Structure 1
């Protein structure tokens, strides 16, 4: 009975059961960390000892990227919130306990402005209406805020007055973008976009580096724990200023640029063209001359390097949830860097990839779980692998 009381008191979200986003709502944070630790050990302890998971001091309102879908309820009132798990039914959310407070305030303001500006919300069934989604991205260190209005068609009525009214309530907004998504798709953002206020991007600071973030750029959503994640990765790499480094799946260059401060040379590889553009701009703005970026498939790039017998000292890899592929892992094994630092957002695919690397001459030295997503079931890990005989 006592345990039930504790859990009930800890349940602070009124729509937790309907939303389904936070599977650990109602559970004390220490208990969440225990469960995640157990999950990590079950999957990864066969490789080496799993260090105690690093949690947050304050596990609330940590997400710097907030997305709201807009709709109407049965009475015709405008609502904003999230899709119910595994459906396209919109659950109205007034106060999400893991999303940035200021971003949520902006979304509520937009919802209230729609009526006075006679802007209709988009109906997925009929294709009628205009506003589909709003996404807000905030730089926690810089305070810069981006608002992305996702429309079903390219014209926003009374655009200038709408911007003026929104910025009157929230003068801290630094840029506003219209994104056009006119397709029947589950994707939030469409391919066409137009900047209607400000520079079209925001900046944020992470581990002493400044990063330019465009509407569709990948940037970790929990900046507090990202610092922990990247600092752990650098500690594991043990860079001394003489190393040649590869940052695979580099995105906008976050890990590679942090590494460049301690390495001789860094090469970042990324498939997404927009991310590569931002990465190059980030290196220039941070006045880093010892890092370069190439656009292409990381696996193919590494295979080509292996064929040419090119050597590197350290490889950082931060693949998507699907993990890496055998082509990439094989090329890493062929190149034989002294250290491989694997940053993973999926322990299942991580276990699969570690099994491959161990079979091909690498030893797993350290595994550090980091709780990037309190109240959710995802866990990030930093893993250090060393080449047998090259420690």
Structure 2
């Protein structure tokens, strides 16, 4: 039986603006904007149900009623924005139009948290006054590349990350010091990214302020995250997902639990209270270091963080423990690679909790696990990103036979 979820927020759509968005339809990020929030939830519910029916037919796993966001607008606590100067329109702050080098300005995006909207409006004049050229990936000339803002609901503050194609120098430092003096800005970080590709961050982060992290609370847990570390963009919905996933894991007192792709430790810590030992595995050294700091900050003594890819992480778990009781995983959109799936099966967990931001790769992986001895019991959808067509899911899998280890 699937664990219960608090459904009341899905019935309380946030106040919707009279006009859906000043950037629609030029910006295609919010494909469902303009529809009443209840209709958006129904579309996502029906779309997921159809994907499940197409994959499994009438005998597929059950699909729960989608859990909505308490805020339909102003929920997103992160903004990753391209910077581009236009002779006709001045400084553009926005997103690339898919498949092009054209930047769509979204400075007034209504899904951004109000702290981000206000701070962005104050930063843009400083960028314009700096006269620093923006980077053009076609010519590989220019300086300013991306502006990333992260807002904390808990501390009511903002972290600003400026990504440039040249190293931190006096003009950039002067600009960032002006940014640091803005209201609510507590942390300012420079990132140097000289690479020609479209990856946002380079390897080098340089704090300009004394505070180098963003501090946030998810439920009763506290988190410090450095620039470059992943944190869910809708904190209220993330909290519901983590609570649901922890209940779905059905962890027992003697269990060793593994959390793959653990990031800064949010799901890991939700799993830890009922387990003997919980091991988080994270590839990013920045996020793994944050997870270790956070486990000390929250007082966990039965959590270990391993800096490794998911593939190497499951191999290390096999060496240390042979098998584990429960595995949780929250992979990127592409899903879980074949080697990691094989390693998970070899660890023989009696239960798998799979958090996914992409139903297509989720269903592919669930069917693979099904062919290797695991039955998908239930898929619970959540609306992490109102106004968009994205669907977040938590799937629970059980080992078909608890008396025997699955075979490859």
TM-score by length of 2: 0.87
The CA distance in 2 between the partners of 1:92 and 1:349, in whole Å, is 31
Distance 1:155 1:303 in 2: 40
Identify the match of residue 271 of structure 1 among 277, 283, 286. Answer: 283
Cα deviation for residue 127 of structure 1 reads 4.0
Deviations 1:310-362 (A, max 9, x none): 12211111111111123222332233222111111111111111112222222
Following the alignment from structure 2 to structure 1, what is the Cα–Cα distance between the partners of residues 332 and 74?
24
1:66–1:104 CA contact under 8 A, matched in 2: no
Q: 1:40 aligns with which of 37, 48, 53?
A: 48
Q: CA separation of 1:290/1:80 partners in 2, compared to 1, >3 Å: closer, same or farther?
A: same
1:3 maps to which residue? Answer: none
1:369 aligns with 2:381: yes
Aligned residue for 2:14?
A: none
Of 163, 185, 190, the match for 1:173: 185
Q: Which residue of 2 aligns with 1:338?
A: 350
Is the 2:127–2:175 Cα contact (8 Å) retained in structure 1?
no
1:80 paired residue number: 93
Q: Structure 1 residues 388, 16: closer, same or farther in 2, change over 3 A?
A: same
Shift of 1:57: 2.9
1:66 correspondence with 2:79: yes
| 2:109 aligned with 1:96 | yes
Instruction: Choose from 230, 244, 255 the match for 1:232.
Output: 244
Give 1:157 deviation, angstroms: 4.0
Partner of 2:33: 25
Give 1:227 deviation, angstroms: 0.6
2:186 paired with 1:186: no
Partner residue of 2:124 out of 97, 111, 117? 111
CA contact (8 A) 2:96 2:104 kept: yes
Distance 2:62 2:19 in 1: 33
2:67 equivalent in structure 1: 54
CA drift of 1:370 comes to 0.5
Alpha-carbon distance in 1 for matches of 2:97, 2:151? 25
RMSD: 2.3
The reply to whether residue 261 of structure 1 matches residue 269 of structure 2 is: no
- For the 8 Å contact 2:115–2:158, the answer to whether it is kept is no
Correspondence for 2:12:
none
Given that residues 119 and 157 in structure 1 are in contact (C-alpha distance below 8 angstroms), is that contact kept between their aligned partners in structure 2? no
Instruction: Evaluate the alpha carbon distance shift between residue 202 and residue 241 of structure 1 in structure 2; reply closer, same or farther with a 3 A threshold.
Output: same
Partners in 1 of 2:129 and 2:352 — Cα distance? 56
**Separation in structure 1 between the aligned mates of residue 137 and residue 340 of structure 2, nearest angstrom:** 40
| Superposition deviation, residue 135 in structure 1 | 0.5
Number of corresponding residues? 383
1:107–1:134 CA contact under 8 A, matched in 2? no
Is the CA contact 1:10–1:28 (under 8 Å) kept in the aligned structure 2? no
Change in Cα spacing, 1:301 to 1:118, as seen in structure 2 (3 Å) is: closer
TM-score (norm 1): 0.90
Superposition deviation, residue 42 in structure 1: 1.8
**1:59 offset after TM fit, Å?**
0.9
Cα-to-partner distance string for 1:276-314 (whole Å, 9 max, x where unaligned) = 111111112212110001122223332454477712211
Counterparts of 1:183 and 1:334, CA distance in 2: 39
Show the counterpart of 1:379. 391
Q: Hey, what's the Cα distance between the residues in 1 that align with 2:151 and 2:66?
A: 27
* Equivalent pair of 2:115/2:156 in contact (CA under 8 Å): no
- My pick for the range that moved more, 277-286 or 307-316, is 307-316
CA distance 1:323–1:118, change in 2 (3 Å): closer
Q: Describe the shift of the 1:263–1:15 C-alpha distance in structure 2 as closer, same or farther (beyond 3 A).
A: same
Q: Does 1:223 align with 2:235?
A: yes
Could you list the runs of 5+ residues in structure 2 that have no partner in the other structure?
Answer: 1-16, 404-408
Pair 1:308–1:146, CA change in 2 (3 A): closer
Is it true that 1:131 corresponds to 2:139 in the alignment? no
C-alpha change, 1:339 and 1:195, in structure 2 (3 Å) is same
Query: How far off its partner does 1:177 sit?
Result: 0.7
Match of 1:5 in 2: none
- Tell me which residue corresponds to 1:6: none
